Chains A and B, each alone.
Chain A
């Protein structure tokens, strides 16, 4: 039961949506899958005057391959990703990540864009979208604009999206790659990440590494990427990368894990993850979806 009451709008075009958003002076929340928003409403964690449901806007629920770009609409659910052959072929890491998100009953509803809009530190999509080359596309009263995923997360539950904007889709620049999403959880069942890492290796020894749940936002590990750049993976190189983990992250101790455990596990996950993404780049290694920890 949600004790707080609010108004509800269901625009059918993006123009109508942005108009509703700009016209509304009080607090407003966008509703897509609702798996975060409805829970927050119920918990009294948010109390908007207006909820704007964007699910009636056509065209936001598609996954499309456009040359060497993959478009993922803002209404695409985690289940859509898991069931998409295009994604399986071109961006399999999205599936590996999506399969760690909650459980089917949530994934049938929850959207990946919603996940990065909620922008909690443990946001699963964050590290993977950072490891891929991702751009977020928005529309607002001033028209359309785009933001690199690296500039998307501003702080705890805070993003580059302003109150009067709607995310329309993401684009991922596609290149051959091998990657992993490694997520530390308290047990085998669904859990929020205690810590996570997304890794992509591109041909030519180019690496992208991003961590989740070890800082207020998902973070790119630029120093680690730098130390790896141009080098074939070997024990020493991996050790050099692992040695930098504690410089990259700023984990906290909370109910889910201590800072120390998070840090040690980031080291372990990076070590195992680099090896596995390299194997996958070579067309070997554990199948996508296999848990490395």
Chain B
């Protein structure tokens, strides 16, 4: 072990009663009974106003004039606002974004003005009456064209934007950030390699498609307090960005409040701030009234974050014995019109673009390129799904070229604990080898399957994955914990229940330490006024980070309980433990003090006075071993990532040789959860992530026309999986090699489960048909045409 972890959590105990059990979700009843409230379900009374957005029809244009007079005169209209009212820029990691377009529009659908009216219908009708005159400019839609020397600039003032210190924008280009990794000597390694394979892979844009669209309700009350209800993964980060973006209006953080009830799915799309800033700005324009802005499904597609496209140029060198000696990976990201969040996707990918392999010589270039398409941003997998497609396709091709079994090739090169990472740090403990072996066994790797149907053929594929949380080095989590009269507990945190089961997992951690049944712990969705800080619910980090904060709060509460027992009864702390909602003592088997008897009222002593009182506690966690100060030219010197989660995926597919249709007959996915706090929920992440990932490779695809307009902003033509589009059999495999600094050894798994899905299909298609498809998605059409073309040639 070369990484030292300053904080070591409680060691994993065999006698766990809450952690490690498939506890029933604490939000299950709410969600199944119709009781669960999402933002759009909250009632705001008769003075609720409704917002609608005026959008750019052009991918790139100069705004010549905006005439709002007809809209202002329309029935029910209360206010029309434009960029002139909010001449501010803001952003998550780079302040390149505007509340409403300023002088230019940079993608089709960009917000140019907002209309606020008494009814939703009135707002939508009036929005059509806002007249905007544009001078249309030639859009840049391809990242390779946008990085060309003479390309027009999408953000001429890129050099002026404030940004985090680990971004390296190139002023007077369209490159908003360029993450470089240089390690060893790739030139020499390629010259000495026995075999070198070089190729280009293409990945288009994808949409999150949470079934709940973005909704924001903002209210600036007459006392000047701004409350914003959002469907968000990031209440505190939103509060911060609202306060910063609207600072010229005089807001302090304490006067901005974000409330997030249940969220109907996020997948990264509800992280940071996207349309919420429009809702917040609208609220400031109609003091005293709540105003609701709910995006339509179409807007959801074209004006919230999208997963960025990428052109990946990959070169890998190996020796005949199968050892990988060098990787050169150039990633040209189609980051869209604003990259305030998306640039960090580019950064994360650049840091890890070797994949989960031991590679001595590395040259990675990950370029964040502005284009006139909607803003890219976080999406489950955060850049890793994108580069794994090419990388894991490439690994299969290399194995074949040097005559090695693809599983053996991966096992030989897989990164293991202590191996050096591309930026110089060292790999954390991981169960990669176990994951590979169990996955291979689950799909009976090496056993050929014959199809009984003459029209179809079977194929198998494997792929590995890894991913680290991508966060600022000091991203933190906090928790409050308080006991109630009956010995039940309320835990306050600000991570979001996006469906992953976060509230349940936090309850299990608290219950475990406090000797409670999980049902005795209540964890609610946050309100930034009352719940303590959480950076965001992204990066698959909350089980780990927020879990540590809850663990610490529970440990503190336990210490306070023992303190009062010690004070009254004299037992030493080390002899006390919590079990069955009681304090017990190892030295006195008779002693069993129910928590409910004293956690609020305290314990009466012999003289009739009382000791103790309400048991309350807090906990916080911030990684204190990370830093992002690496050399811009080599990427060496920092410790940007806290740890990696790894795993493997394998599939058995059946393909119709004529139509190209693919059926996934079996899919196995092994992920190293460190410790599965709730194995049922980990399995839920595996099945959900797998199906989401398989869709990206089989049929999902954002299709833009030559003018940069999204042609399929709906589920009619952007197909997401239905109940028919799942593997016949899914085999979730949980590997548990503990993360030394994780709560009970846990690390995150939420995003990881979709990362390997694309290459595993590409590899299985090749295995079946001998056809290598290098651009996603691998639709049935692409397969059918490739097969028949091959026959014709």
A and B touch in the complex (CB under 8 A): yes
Q: State the main secondary structure of chain B at its contact with A.
A: loop
Nearest CB of chain B from residue A274's CB, rounded to whole Å: 15
Q: Would A260 and B724 count as touching, CB distance under 8 A?
A: no
Check if A257 is an interface residue, CB within 8 A of chain B.
yes
Q: Which residues of A contact B125 (CB under 8 A)?
A: 3
Give the interface segment out of A56-64, A87-95, A182-190.
A182-190
Question: Which residues 686-728 in B have Cβ within 8 Å of A in the complex?
Answer: 698-699, 703, 711-712, 716-717, 719, 721-725
Give the interface segment out of B65-73, B619-627, B779-787.
B779-787
Q: Would A190 and B781 count as touching, CB distance under 8 A?
A: no
Check if A268 is an interface residue, CB within 8 A of chain B.
yes
Q: Would B124 and A186 count as touching, CB distance under 8 A?
A: no
Check if A172 is an interface residue, CB within 8 A of chain B.
no
| The residue from B120, B712, B721 contacting A189, defined by CB atoms under 8 A apart | B721
Q: Would A293 and B784 count as touching, CB distance under 8 A?
A: no
Q: If the complex has contacts A3-B121, A255-B703, A293-B656, are A190 and B780 also in contact, measured as CB distance less than 8 A?
A: no
Q: Which residues of B contact A5 (CB under 8 A)?
A: 121
| The residue from B661, B725, B788 contacting A264, defined by CB atoms under 8 A apart | B788
Complex-state Cα separation, A31 to B213, whole angstroms: 29
Q: Which residues of B contact A256 (CB under 8 A)?
A: 717
Q: Would A264 and B717 count as touching, CB distance under 8 A?
A: no
Nearest CB of chain B from residue A66's CB, rounded to whole Å: 37
Q: Would B121 and A265 count as touching, CB distance under 8 A?
A: no
| The residue from B124, B659, B785 contacting A260, defined by CB atoms under 8 A apart | B785
Q: Would B719 and A186 count as touching, CB distance under 8 A?
A: yes
Q: Would B722 and A186 count as touching, CB distance under 8 A?
A: no
Check if B658 is an interface residue, CB within 8 A of chain A.
yes
Complex-state Cα separation, A293 to B781, whole angstroms: 13
Q: If the complex has contacts A3-B125, A256-B717, A293-B659, are A188 and B784 also in contact, measured as CB distance less than 8 A?
A: no
Q: Which residue of B lies closest to A39 (CB)?
A: B716
Complex-state Cα separation, A257 to B717, whole angstroms: 11
Q: Which residues of A contact B725 (CB under 8 A)?
A: 187-189
Q: Would B724 and A189 count as touching, CB distance under 8 A?
A: yes
Check if A40 is an interface residue, CB within 8 A of chain B.
no
Question: Which residues 184-241 in A have Cβ within 8 Å of B in the complex?
Answer: 184, 186-192
Complex-state Cα separation, A255 to B710, whole angstroms: 11
Q: Would A265 and B784 count as touching, CB distance under 8 A?
A: yes
Q: Would A268 and B716 count as touching, CB distance under 8 A?
A: no
| The residue from B120, B717, B724, B779 contacting A188, defined by CB atoms under 8 A apart | B724
Q: Would B711 and A255 count as touching, CB distance under 8 A?
A: yes
Complex-state Cα separation, A265 to B124, whole angstroms: 42
Q: Which residues of B contact A255 (CB under 8 A)?
A: 703, 711-712, 717
Q: Which residues of A contact B721 (CB under 8 A)?
A: 187, 189
Q: Which residue of B lies closest to A194 (CB)?
A: B781
Complex-state Cα separation, A265 to B711, whole angstroms: 24
Q: Would A261 and B712 count as touching, CB distance under 8 A?
A: no
Check if A7 is an interface residue, CB within 8 A of chain B.
no
Question: Which residues 1-54 in A have Cβ within 8 Å of B in the complex?
Answer: 1-3, 5
Q: Would A186 and B784 count as touching, CB distance under 8 A?
A: no
Q: Would B785 and A268 count as touching, CB distance under 8 A?
A: no
Q: Which residues of A contact B698 (CB under 8 A)?
A: 187
Q: Would A268 and B658 count as touching, CB distance under 8 A?
A: yes
Question: Which residues 239-271 in A have Cβ within 8 Å of B in the complex?
Answer: 255-258, 260-261, 264-265, 268
Nearest CB of chain B from residue A197's CB, rounded to whole Å: 13
Complex-state Cα separation, A61 to B467, whole angstroms: 57
Q: Would B699 and A187 count as touching, CB distance under 8 A?
A: yes
Complex-state Cα separation, A256 to B124, whole angstroms: 30
Nearest CB of chain A from residue B129's CB, rounded to whole Å: 12
Chain B 726-756, CB-CB to A under 8 Å as 1, else 0, gives: 0000000000000000000000000000000
Q: If the complex has contacts A186-B699, A255-B703, A293-B659, are A191 and B784 also in contact, measured as CB distance less than 8 A?
A: no
Nearest CB of chain B from residue A262's CB, rounded to whole Å: 9
Q: If the complex has contacts A255-B703, A264-B788, are A192 and B723 also in contact, measured as CB distance less than 8 A?
A: no
From B716, B725, B781, B785, residue with most partner A Cβ within 10 Å: B781
Question: Which residues 750-793 in B have Cβ within 8 Å of A in the complex?
Answer: 779-781, 784-785, 788
Complex-state Cα separation, A190 to B721, whole angstroms: 10
Complex-state Cα separation, A61 to B124, whole angstroms: 37
Q: Would B719 and A191 count as touching, CB distance under 8 A?
A: yes
Q: Which residues of B contact A264 (CB under 8 A)?
A: 784-785, 788
Q: Would B722 and A188 count as touching, CB distance under 8 A?
A: yes
Complex-state Cα separation, A186 to B783, whole angstroms: 12
Q: If the complex has contacts A186-B780, A264-B784, are A1 and B712 also in contact, measured as CB distance less than 8 A?
A: no
Nearest CB of chain B from residue A37's CB, rounded to whole Å: 15
Q: Which residue of A lies closest to B125 (CB)?
A: A3
Nearest CB of chain B from residue A121's CB, rounded to whole Å: 14
Nearest CB of chain A from residue B285's CB, rounded to whole Å: 22
Complex-state Cα separation, A62 to B724, whole angstroms: 31
Complex-state Cα separation, A2 to B716, whole angstroms: 19
Q: Which residues of B contact A268 (CB under 8 A)?
A: 658-659
Nearest CB of chain B from residue A239's CB, rounded to whole Å: 15
Q: Would A261 and B719 count as touching, CB distance under 8 A?
A: no
Q: If the complex has contacts A192-B716, A261-B784, A261-B785, are A1 and B121 also in contact, measured as CB distance less than 8 A?
A: yes
Q: If the complex has contacts A268-B658, A293-B656, are A187 and B121 also in contact, measured as CB distance less than 8 A?
A: no
Complex-state Cα separation, A276 to B725, whole angstroms: 25
Q: Would A1 and B779 count as touching, CB distance under 8 A?
A: no
Q: If the complex has contacts A1-B120, A1-B121, A255-B703, are A186 and B779 also in contact, measured as CB distance less than 8 A?
A: yes
From A3, A191, A256, residue with most partner B Cβ within 10 Å: A3
Q: Which residue of A lies closest to B718 (CB)?
A: A255
Nearest CB of chain B from residue A238's CB, rounded to whole Å: 14
Complex-state Cα separation, A220 to B722, whole angstroms: 32
Complex-state Cα separation, A5 to B76, whole angstroms: 15
Question: Which residues 626-657 in B have Cβ within 8 Å of A in the complex?
Answer: 656
Q: Would A265 and B717 count as touching, CB distance under 8 A?
A: no
Nearest CB of chain B from residue A283's CB, rounded to whole Å: 22
| The residue from B120, B124, B723, B781 contacting A257, defined by CB atoms under 8 A apart | B781
Complex-state Cα separation, A260 to B120, whole angstroms: 44
Complex-state Cα separation, A264 to B656, whole angstroms: 14
Complex-state Cα separation, A191 to B725, whole angstroms: 12
Q: Which residues of A contact B785 (CB under 8 A)?
A: 258, 260-261, 264
Complex-state Cα separation, A268 to B125, whole angstroms: 48
Complex-state Cα separation, A214 to B659, whole angstroms: 16
Q: Would B722 and A189 count as touching, CB distance under 8 A?
A: yes
Q: If the complex has contacts A186-B719, A187-B719, A260-B785, are A293 and B661 also in contact, measured as CB distance less than 8 A?
A: yes
Q: Which residues of A contact B784 (CB under 8 A)?
A: 261, 264-265
Complex-state Cα separation, A99 to B522, whole angstroms: 45
Nearest CB of chain A from residue B656's CB, rounded to whole Å: 7
Q: Would B124 and A3 count as touching, CB distance under 8 A?
A: yes
Complex-state Cα separation, A191 to B703, whole angstroms: 17
Q: Would B661 and A189 count as touching, CB distance under 8 A?
A: no
Q: Would B659 and A265 count as touching, CB distance under 8 A?
A: yes
Q: Which residue of A lies closest to B124 (CB)?
A: A3
Q: Which residues of B contact A189 (CB under 8 A)?
A: 719, 721-725
26 A-B contact pairs sorted by A residue (CB < 8 Å): A1-B120, A1-B121, A1-B124, A2-B121, A3-B124, A5-B121, A103-B722, A184-B659, A186-B699, A186-B719, A186-B780, A187-B699, A187-B722, A187-B724, A188-B724, A188-B725, A190-B722, A255-B717, A256-B717, A258-B781, A258-B785, A261-B781, A264-B784, A264-B788, A265-B659, A293-B659
Q: A186-B699, A256-B717, A260-B785 are in contact. List 6 more A-B contacts (CB 8 A).
A: A184-B659, A186-B780, A188-B724, A255-B711, A268-B658, A293-B656
B residues adjacent to A (C-beta < 8 A) = 120-121, 124-125, 656, 658-659, 661, 663, 698-699, 703, 711-712, 716-717, 719, 721-725, 779-781, 784-785, 788
A residues adjacent to B (C-beta < 8 A) = 1-3, 5, 103, 184, 186-192, 255-258, 260-261, 264-265, 268, 293
**3 tightest A-B contacts by CB?**
A189-B722, A188-B724, A261-B781
